[in-house]
Amino acid sequence: MRWLLLLLLAGCASQTPPKTVEVPVPVPCKVPQIEKPSFAVDGLPIGANIWDQMLALRAERKQRQGYELKLEAAIQSCQ
C-alpha cells in the first residue's frame, strides 16, 4: 500500500507544467480623426505679390510638418 502511494506521488512530481502560448489578437484601432488644417497658401488672393506668397509658403511648410507629425503618431499608435 505504501509503495502504491509513493508511486502515485512520484508520478505526479515528474509531470511538466503546461506550456503557455501567447497568440496576438487583432484589436480595432480607435484613433480620433485628425482634421486637415487650412493652409496659409489657400487663403492668398489670386494677385498676391511674391513676398506674401513666400511668407505663406514658409508658414504652410511648418503647418504641413505639424500635420504630418500628427498623422504619423496616429499610424504609430495603431501598430
- Summarize pLDDT for 14-47 with one digit per residue, the tens: 567 778 899 988 888 888 899 999 999 998 998 9
Q: What is the mean pLDDT of residues 57-79?
A: 93
pLDDT value of residue 55: 94
In the chain, domain spans:
52-79
- Nearest alpha-carbon partner for 79 in 21, 33, 27: 27
Helix (H, G, I), strand (E, B) or coil at 46: coil
Residue with the three cell numbers 506521488: 9
Specify the amino acid at residue 77. Answer: S
pLDDT tens string 3-17: 666 666 665 555 677
User: What is the pTM assigned to this prediction?
Assistant: 0.59
Interatomic CA distance for residues 79 and 53, integer angstroms: 39
Contact 4, 23 (CB under 8 A): no
